Amino acid sequence: MRIDSEYTLLEKLGSGSFGVVYKAIHEETGRTVAIKQIDLDSADEDLDHIRQEIQVLAQCCNSPFVTRYYGATVRGFRLWIVMEYMNGGSCLDLLRAGSFTEEQIGCVVYQLLQGLVYLHSESKIHRDIKCKYWMAPEVIQRAQYNEKADIWSLGITAIEMAQGLPPYANLHPMKALFQIPKNPPPELDDVAKPRFTDAFHDFLRCCLVKDAHQLLTHSFLRTHSRQGDLVRTMVLRYQAMRGNSPPHGQSKDTPDRQPPVAGDADTSHTEDDFQWDFDLGTLSTRTALNVTTESLKRTLLAEIPASVSPMAVPSPLRVSPAGWASIDYSESLPASTAKAIDAMRKRWLHQCGQTAGP
Ligand SMILES: Nc1ncnc2c1ncn2[C@@H]1O[C@H](COP(=O)(O)OP(=O)(O)OP(=O)(O)O)[C@@H](O)[C@H]1O
């Protein structure tokens, strides 16, 4: 796929610390992609992180459990990171429709773990550098850390899926940073605790000490690992919720599919766009440079330190469950799944104070 060719931007998918993500069509191939647009003008302090994210993404394209990276290009004053479109959204998105059951957590965690096993086998550590509540104590303390830091984050993510929020979510992030290394590993809160089996509690405890390979054989995952339909029902639950409320980052009256707004997303791109006043060599100081997309890519990749560390395939939640990119959720479902979806829909409508229809 040629990254410097044309894209048609569709709706906004969401936004994160570094930029806004759009759904888009790559005109040459007709492929649907996701494009993260980073405003280079305001990203000064984060440029190192962005560079690291691109480096890691560029090297990690060989697992169905990790979001595929297609390339990066500069359009005007924005850096575009083109990647696989995950039509189920992120786990964080799915959580907006309510916390997960133990079965659902097992199914998602199993796939997240497969992504981590792949990354670790490539000597890469995910280590989300910016999300404080999920950070392992050794990362917070800037001590030596290894891939176990990711397993800690996975455990925190599992707690978040069970309770809807990570531990210490009621604290200011800086306060949480002090508490995490000081306190014993967190557990489920008293409300969530009784809803889960001993196997799950044990799994959480293990996440704080064990490596990813050992965890794949944990009895908790053996029970839940093969229930792919569950992911689908969670996506449907989230999509049902989106039917009534706008996706993260969009106002209620914004249509789902909207043409890009001038100044918001750049859709017009000419060769001139690639001649922004920007030093692509260091991504930190600005000197006038005429660059092509290829040279951007080469420079970005060459500039990134060889010793990879902080990985930012976005959050621990973004190691994508297998097949999300290709599953068409509108296809007809087995009766048992349809029943489960209906139950979730009713639960959600109930939570919103509405009555479920027929
Ligand atoms: N490849 C993708 N396919 C589909 N949706 C995506 C994709 N990447 C991101 N999104 C959507 O865009 C949102 C923002 O993603 P982004 O990577 O910018 O931030 P984040 O990782 O969620 O947050 P942060 O950067 O603060 O950690 C996500 O929550 C998700 O809804």
Round to whole Å and give the CA distance between 342 and 160: 24
Contacts 24+ apart (CB under 8 A), 293-297: 293/3, 293/4, 293/73, 293/74, 294/4, 296/72, 296/73, 296/74, 297/3, 297/71, 297/72, 297/73
Does 120 sit in the ligand 1 pocket, CB within 6 Å?
A: no
CA atoms within 13 A on the CB side of 141: 11
Distance of alpha carbon 175 from its chain centroid, rounded?
24
Looking at the CA of residue 83, tell me the nearest atom of ligand 1. 1
Cα 311 to averaged position of ligand 1 atoms, centre (Å) = 15
Compute the distance from residue 86 Cα to the ligand 1 centre, in Å.
Answer: 10
| C-beta separation of 70 from 303 below 8 A | no
Q: Quick check: CB of 18 below 6 Å from ligand 1? A: yes
CB of 33 closer than 6 angstroms to any ligand 1 atom? no
Note the pLDDT tens digit of each residue in 184-239.
889 999 999 999 999 999 999 988 776 667 777 788 887 776 666 788 888 888 88
Q: Whose CA is nearest to atom 20 of ligand 1?
A: 16
**Of ligand 1's atoms, which has the minimum distance to the CA of residue 84?**
1
Between the CA of 21 and the centroid of ligand 1 the distance, in Å, is: 6
Is the pLDDT confidence value at 263 over 70? no
Reported confidence tier of residue 127, pLDDT bands at 50, 70, 90: low
> What confidence tens digit (pLDDT) does each residue in 319-331 have?
333 323 222 222 2
Annotated binding-site residues read: 36
Tell the residue nearest (CA) to atom 24 of ligand 1.
16
ipTM given for this complex? 0.97
pLDDT on residue 105: 94
pLDDT for res 19 = 86
Higher pLDDT, 286 or 113: 113
Residue nearest to atom 13 of ligand 1 (CA): 14
From the CA of 19, give the closest atom in ligand 1. Answer: 18
Please say if the pLDDT value at position 110 is more than 60. yes
The residue whose C-alpha atom lies closest to atom 1 belonging to ligand 1 is 85
Could you tell me the pTM of the whole model? 0.63
- What are the Cα distances from residue 108, in Å, to 1, 84, 225, 319, 328? 30, 19, 8, 10, 18
Radius of gyration (C-alpha) of the chain in whole angstroms: 21
Q: Looking at residues 347-355, what average pLDDT do you find?
A: 44
Tell me the C-alpha distance between 112 and 192, whole Å. 22
Annotated binding-site ranges for ATP: 36
Residue nearest to atom 18 of ligand 1 (CA): 16
Q: Give the SS3 label for residue 204.
A: helix
Q: 283 near 90, Cβ under 8 Å?
A: no
Q: What is the pLDDT of residue 200?
A: 95
Q: Which atom of ligand 1 is nearest to the CA of 87?
A: 4
What 3-state DSSP class applies to 135?
coil
Task: Indicate the residue type of 12.
Answer: K
Q: Are 1 and 70 in contact (CB under 8 A)?
A: yes
Catalytic residue ranges: 128
The answer to whether residue 34 scores a pLDDT higher than 90 is yes
Q: How far apart are CA 269 and CA 256, in angstroms?
A: 24
pLDDT for 296: 37
More confident residue, 76 or 313: 76
Q: What is the pLDDT of residues 290-299, one digit of tens each?
A: 233 344 334 3
- Which helix (H) or strand (E) segment holds residue 9: the answer is strand 7-15
- Tokens representing residue 123 in the block: 């000597």
- The pick from 9, 11, 13, 91 for probing ligand 1's pocket by mutation, whose C-beta has the most ligand atoms within 8 angstroms, reads 13
297 to 25, 58, 66, 74, 183: CA distances (angstroms): 21, 10, 21, 9, 43
**Ligand 1 pocket, 50 CB below 6 A?**
no
